């Protein structure tokens, strides 16, 4: 019985090692094809996912970078957070919002999704979070921009 368990454990370790090697290779290939502020991918049958991230303002692009993206499903609803880091000594004001997409890449329109004003202090790391509007969402894009001036 011990021999059988050892054999099963060895097989499991080989599978895990193969999956990890494949994921590492995909991460390296994705890194070669993207800029520092954009991570691309989608959730597929294997649960593989990365975010689409866009910083539209050149000043923000030069001073803010994406450190990592975290995602999970809770009750089959996609939740995402992105860790951003300021490389400036000055406080940066910005607005952000999450756009959600279904498996076909079609945007899921949500009337509750709006731009959220925020700021990041000099050399600070900050986590931005979003929750998909429904279960159909399996990819997302985090949009970051300079604040829009208020109009009356």
The answer to which of 25-29, 93-97, 146-150 has the lowest mean pLDDT is 25-29
Instruction: Give 19-28's long-range contacts (Cβ < 8 A, gap of 24+).
Output: 23/48
Q: Which residue has the higher pLDDT, 123 or 148?
A: 123
* Residue 125 pLDDT level (bands cut at 50, 70, 90): very high
Residues whose CB is less than 8 angstroms from the CB of residue 48 and which lie 6 or more positions away in sequence, other chains included = 23, 26, 41, 42
pLDDT attached to residue 17: 53
Residues 6+ apart with CB under 8 A from 26: 48
pLDDT tens digits along 37-80? 334 334 443 333 334 678 889 999 899 988 888 889 999 999 99
**Residues 144, 64 contacting (CB under 8 angstroms):** yes
Residue 90: per-residue pLDDT: 96
pLDDT of residue 51: 47
Q: Which two tokens stand for residue 62?
A: 């030069």
CATH of domain 36-145: 2.60.40.3230
Taking the domains of the chain in order of start, what are their residue ranges? 1-33, 36-145
């Amino acid at each position: 019985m011990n021999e059988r368990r050892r054999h099963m454990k060895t097989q499991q370790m080989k599978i895990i090692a193969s999956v990890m090697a494949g994921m590492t290779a995909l991460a390296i290939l994705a890194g070669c094809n993207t800029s520092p502020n954009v991570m691309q991918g989608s959730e597929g049958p294997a649960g593989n996912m990365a975010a689409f991230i866009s910083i539209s303002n050149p000043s923000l692009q030069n001073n803010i970078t994406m450190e990592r993206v975290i995602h999970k499903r809770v009750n089959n609803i996609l939740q995402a957070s992105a860790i951003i880091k300021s490389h400036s000594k000055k406080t940066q004001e910005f607005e952000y919002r999450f756009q959600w997409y279904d498996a076909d890449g079609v945007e899921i329109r949500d009337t509750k999704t709006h731009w959220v004003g925020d700021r990041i202090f000099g050399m600070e790391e900050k986590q931005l979070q979003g929750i998909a509007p429904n279960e159909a969402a399996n990819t997302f894009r985090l949009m970051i921009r300079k604040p829009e001036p208020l109009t009356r």
